[in-house]
Structure 1
Amino acid sequence: MKFTTPIPESESSAALASLPKILETNEPVVPLLQYAPAIAVYPAYYHEGVAGARSDCFVRRSVADRLVEAAGLLPPDHHLVVLDGWRPLEVQQSLYNRLKSQLLSQGWTEGEAFYEELHRFVARPSHNPERPPRHLTGGAVDLTIAGLNGWLDMGTPFDDFTDRAHTRFFEIHLPSDDQERQIQRNRRLLYHIMIQAGFTNYSDEWWHFDYGNQAWATARRHDHAFYGGILQVN
């Protein structure tokens, strides 16, 4: 079955040195709780109490439609759980500061390697209209899958900043027991339904997918992105 095939190597977007231009479509941002009630919404940063986080998850309308398409590919009794979408700069700054402090507490010292590690997982908060953070565009979404017994085991929690969070970790390090084999299947399922719905995956994070932004355009080799940064939604 296609949703159990191995996750291929990514051509991805880990280093986006040369970004495609943005031809903004002005497509609206929609709240998922109202727009796509078939998809569960658990705004992780709101529940964590991060300053500026909202009690709903917001994405561009085409992203919401593609999430509905992806959800329709799931086995019976399974559904998507969206954890984050559009992310205001206040939240981006909080997450950036938090991870920076965590890395320093682990013994890192500021320098090129430090910032390379930091930027693997949290983009620098930026107002630069030519290089907005992915989540600021409304074209990035973090999510997982739930079944009858709750969220599927993906091998790490959301926002785990270790090598185990790499989407292909259990393709590179082959499963050693039944639990890891199930994790591998769960990641493959999430990856393949999202790719079939038109998204691309950020290879360092099994939960992160893009559509319409510069990371997506780079991975798909489009000459432009559809979505720029949005500083505020209602």
Structure 2
Amino acid sequence: MPQPPAAPPQGPARVTSVAEYRRQVQRDPQQELVDLTKVIPGLKLDIRYATADNLVGQVIYPEAAAFLRRPVAEDLRRVQQDLAAQGYALKIYDAYRPYAATVRLFEAMPDATYAAPPTRGSKHNRGCSVDVGLVDLRTGRDVPMPTAFDAMTPAAHSDYQQLPAEARRNRAMLHAALQRHGFVNYPAEWWHFDHRGWEQYPLMDLPFAALRR
């Protein structure tokens, strides 16, 4: 699989050194980017940027993986527990995103509504954003939602109402579960959520492999 290109020297400050990242984690363990599959039992991954099935039609990540800062991951685990009590589970489309991948996405889709400009970076780069859907625990299948992930249409907006009742109910259930645990939806994308407190974490430009101990 192709590796994301090296980030250009210009742009916002970001962590590019594994050693610096390790020092940050040593000073503050909350800074750790943790593997969600090790924190949240039964979590399903559908990491679209490790495939060409995404809004730019290109493979962006060299592997399918999902990391978030430790407090964010722990809150997401609470979301999963809430949903399990209702018969559902999360599906993860994207989580931590290296800054170099943000550069590549914006080059392919230079629309700030759907791709974060490299001049400011993304909350995904901070390990504080997650893109999610819902799965029925009984069947293991995706439940009806307003649109597919990464759809660039008005129907993807979180306030869009001209939808089947089931899709509206599922969206409301997903949003309510995440909001109870500190996540805020991005209104143009029903699937995108930022964790409160993202400002505490720096932008990162480390590949997934560097985050594994």
TM-score, length-scaled by structure 1 = 0.68
2: distance between equivalents of 1:85 and 1:32? 9
Q: Is the 8 A contact 1:50 1:91 kept in 2?
A: no
Structure 1 pair 194/66, CA: closer, same or farther in 2 (3 Å)? same
Given residue 164 of structure 1, which amino acid in structure 2 is its aligned partner?
A
Deviation of 1:139 after TM superposition, in Å, equals 0.2
1:163-211 Cα distance to aligned partner (Å, 9 max, x none):
11001102xx4x4xxxx00000010001000000111110100000011
Instruction: Please tell me whether the aligned partners of residues 42 and 82 of structure 1 are also in contact (alpha carbons under 8 angstroms).
Output: yes
Contact 1:137 1:228 in 2 (8 A): yes
* Residue 189 of structure 2 is aligned to residue 205 of structure 1: yes
| Matched residue type, 1:70 | V
Give yes or no for the alignment of 1:122 onto 2:132.
Answer: no
- 2:205 aligns with 231
RMSD (Å) for aligned C-alpha atoms: 2.0
The match for 2:146 among 155, 161, 181 is 155
* Match in the other structure for 1:15: none
Q: Of 150, 159, 165, which aligns to 2:156?
A: 165
Name the residue aligned to 2:60. 51
Matched residue type, 1:200: V
- The SS at the match of 1:230 is coil
Residue 47 of structure 1, CA deviation: 2.7
- Tell me what 2:72 maps to: 63
1:76, CA displacement in angstroms?
4.0
Higher mean C-alpha deviation, range 148-157 or range 80-89: 148-157
Conserved? CA contact 2:90–2:135, under 8 Å: yes
Residue in 2 aligned with 1:138?
Answer: 127
Q: Given residue 122 of structure 1, which amino acid in structure 2 is its aligned partner?
A: A
For 1:84, the equivalent position in structure 2 comes to 94
Residue segments in structure 2 that go unaligned for 5+ positions in a row: 1-23, 53-57
Higher relative contact order (Cα pairs below 8 Å, separated by 6+ residues):
1
Cα distance in 2 for partners of 1:125, 1:145 equals: 30
For residues 63 and 141 of structure 1, what CA distance do their matches in structure 2 show? 9
Higher mean C-alpha displacement, 90-99 vs 47-56: 47-56
Distance 2:64 2:205 in 1: 17
* Residues in 1 aligned to 2:62 and 2:123: alpha-carbon distance in whole angstroms: 16
Are 2:99 and 2:121, in contact at CA under 8 Å, matched by a contact in 1? no
Structure 2 Cα separation of the partners of residues 230 and 162 of structure 1: 30
Cα offset, 1:153, TM superposition: 1.2
| Unpaired runs of at least 5, structure 1 | 1-23, 101-117, 215-224
Counterparts of residues 11-26 of structure 1 (less than 5 Å):
none
Structure 1 residue 42, shift from structure 2 partner: 1.8
How far, CA to CA, are the matches of 2:150 and 2:179 in structure 1? Answer: 21
CA–CA separation in structure 2 for the residues paired with 1:53 and 1:186: 32
Note if contact 1:83-1:142 (Cα within 8 Å) is conserved in structure 2: yes
Q: Per the alignment, in what secondary structure is the counterpart of residue 121 of structure 1? A: coil
Query: How far apart in 2 are the matches of 1:213 and 1:157?
Result: 28
Which amino acid in the other structure matches residue 97 of structure 2? R
